[in-house]
Amino acid sequence: MHDLYAASSDIVADYRRTHALADDVMANPFDFIGRGDLFLDLLDWHKTFPKVWGILGWHIQLYHTHMMTVPPEPRREEGKRLGWHQDSGSVYVVPGSHLRNELQFPKGDESEPVDAVALGVPAGSAIIFDRRLWHARGRNHSTSTRIALYYGYSYRWLKPRDDMTVDQLLNRCDPIRRQLLGDSVNGNHSFTSPQEEDVLLRAWISEHVGEDAVVP
């Protein structure tokens, strides 16, 4: 955990220098997956990745990585409403809100939605959510900078959101990681009509979990 925080902090420090950002300003580097083996290992982490393919199936890829860095914030921000949105962060969420395209706020003040829930979890925890869920980052009133790593998974026929600079990783990845990083044995056609060798995750699920677990 300490090594991962240190590696993330190095990326953030480089991002701040490149974009001339002060230490007390949020920093949000994208496409960090190729910046170290610690990040690559989380791509198919044994405690989280089965939940991903359990939801989405085997025809998937990584389409987005995002590192949200929130320095300690002044208490004067307390009266300002959180930045609620839908997209692809500690986090507040509105349960069930992925089923509607608008979010209702109390009138006449800056209150949060009445059904908003704060997700308070220990450092190192993983939160899995649908990108359509209305959510907002919580405020950081601690004395430490908070860093959250986002791994966005999607179906392989969707265009990645990031530049995905991962070519340097492919020659030392197993076939499943290569699939997740956007590699294809049979070219672009395989993203809509994959052959067995394009999506080795399917065979792995069938062998280790059972054919019943292979969602079409």
pLDDT of 180 above 90: yes
Q: How far is CA 192 from the centre of its chain?
A: 23
Classify residue 192 by burial, with Cβ atoms within 10 Å: 0-12, 13-18, 19+.
exposed
Residue where a domain terminates, one of 113, 139, 165: 139
- Kindly state whether residues 64 and 145 are assigned to the same domain: yes
- Look over the chain and give the mean of its residue pLDDT values, rounded to a whole number: 89
The answer to whether position 199 is within a domain reads: yes
Same-domain check for residues 17 and 65? yes
CB of 20 closer than 8 Å to CB of 56: no
Contacts of 215 (CB under 8 A, 6+ apart): 57, 58
Q: pLDDT digits over 75-134, tens only? A: 656 667 888 888 754 577 888 888 788 877 777 777 888 788 888 889 899 999 998 888
Q: Is 197 a residue whose pLDDT tops 90?
A: yes
Q: Which helix (H) or strand (E) holds 39?
A: helix 37-41
Residue 106's CB is within 10 A of a number of other CB atoms, namely 11
Confidence at residue 8, expressed as pLDDT on a 0 to 100 scale: 96
65 and 31 within one domain: yes
- Categorize the per-residue pLDDT at 165 as very low, low, confident or very high, splitting at 50, 70 and 90: very high
**In percent, how much of the chain has pLDDT > 70?**
95
Domain end, chosen from 86, 121, 139, is at: 139
pTM listed for this prediction: 0.84
Give the pLDDT mean for 164-184: 95
User: Is residue 58 assigned to a domain?
Assistant: yes
The pLDDT of 134-142, averaged and rounded, is 87
Range of the domain at 28: 1-70+140-211
Are 95 and 60 part of one and the same domain?
no
Question: CA angle, corner 103, sides to 99 and 107, nearest 5?
Answer: 150
Same domain, 63 and 120: no
Indicate whether 100 belongs to any domain: yes
Q: What is the mean pLDDT of residues 136-151?
A: 90
Indicate whether 188 and 201 sit together in one domain. Answer: yes
Statement to judge: residues 4 and 65 lie in one domain? yes
Residue 216 inside a domain? The answer is no
Instruction: Give the mean model confidence (pLDDT) for residues 178-187.
Output: 94
> Average of pLDDT values for 138-158?
92
- Count of domains forming the chain: 2
Tell which wins on pLDDT, 13 or 123: 13
* 12 close to 147: Cβ distance less than 8 angstroms: yes
Residue 69: predicted pLDDT: 93
84 and 184 assigned to the same domain: no
Q: Does 166 lie in the same domain as 132? A: no
Q: Answer yes or no: do 123 and 145 share one domain.
A: no
Whether 122 and 147 map to the same domain: the answer is: no
Residues 6+ apart with CB under 8 A from 116: 92, 93, 94
Q: How far apart are CA 72 and CA 139, in angstroms?
A: 8
Question: Does residue 104 sit in the same domain as residue 205?
Answer: no
pLDDT at res. 158: 93
